[in-house]
Amino acid sequence: MPTPHRVVIAVFPDVDLLDVTGPAEVFALANRETAGRAGYRVRLAGPTVGAVRTSAGVRLLTDVAFEDVGGQVDTLLVPGAVDMTDDGPRARIDDAVVSWVRETAPHARRVASVCVGAHLLAAAGLLDGRTATTHWSTADQLAADHPGVTVDPDPIFVRTDRGRLWTGAGISACLDLSLALVAEDLGEEAALAVARQLVVYLKRQGGQSQFSVPLSRPPAGRRDIDELCLWIADHLDEELSAPALAARMCLSERHFARVFKQETGTTPGAYVEAARVEAARRALEATDDPLDLVASASGLGSAETLHRAFRRQLATTPAAYRRSFRTRTV
């Protein structure tokens, strides 16, 4: 008989829909891919039994009221809800949910937040003295509201408290976190089988960034700079010095450097290096290519240059990064 995994997902008014249904689908597929051996039993818990309207307008039906969940929870998943204000999105703090999480968490084998659900864990006192992540748009709010929490807005998920406490980034990262939970329970092969059914890559490990280089900055006001950034991503092994890029833009080097930094917030050289490091990261995750080949293909030239760039950008070495994030295949 499989070890039962009783998964309880919190559902409350205006909860983010994907943060509930994404993990539920991952666990359901794990059951299917293991012919039921996974033993996941997912239940939605809410303030009452019945319909709950989500942020998408879709209604979900809860299986059990908060007060009736009881003990023996294997995995407690806490998604979040967002209110839009003049200052941008704000994570909603529902006192009733916070109180229930505070009471239920000690009885769960592990607790995980999805997206802005980290704010609810923090309000319940579960994140004090720990490192946590959340959706990038509310990371500043989490840090301001909870000074005792070390907020890292970059990773896709953070695992702490000896694996008992997880916090995940936003939106589609709920799939990454859920796949990591499956991998912890059942092994990488089971998680890979689920990822294949979802048609997603089992690549993005927790320490990886929520963003690619183009997505990590707001769009430039000038369309020609946006187009240049896309061109750079497709030509990383070519000459991408500031003079070469200025010539491509038909601008003087000085004027080009000023415009590029004004539009992107960084220098051309720093942008190109970050894009090349990102390409090298993907190669290290997905291939067994030697470091000199990775360096050449990503435009960094040599293994020595690759090493220096990784130290600057990621504070690690290419070899250490590969050991941490190499994707196993079957």
| Cα dihedral 271, 142, 160, 203 in deg (nearest 10) | -40
Task: Quote the CA–CA distance of 285 and 107 in Å, as a whole number.
Answer: 37
H helices of 135-267, where? 139-145, 173-186, 188-198, 223-234, 242-248, 253-264
C-alpha distances (whole Å) from 195 to each of 175, 264, 297 are: 9, 34, 27
CA angle 65, 71, 75 (to 5 degrees): 85
- Phi, psi angles (nearest 5°) of residue 287: -130, 170
272 close to 231: Cβ distance less than 8 angstroms: no
Coil vs helix vs strand at 151: strand
Question: Nearest CA to 63 among 10, 118, 114?
Answer: 10
- Residue 115 falls in the annotated catalytic set: yes
Round to the nearest angstrom and report the end-to-end CA distance of the chain.
Answer: 25
Strands (E), 79-206: 82-85, 88-91, 108-113, 131-132, 150-151, 157-160, 165-168
Amino acid at the residue 13: P
122 close to 148: Cβ distance less than 8 angstroms: no
Strand 64-65, strand 73-78: pairing: unpaired
Of the residues 115, 174, 229, 250, which is catalytic? 115
List residues with catalytic annotation.
Answer: 115
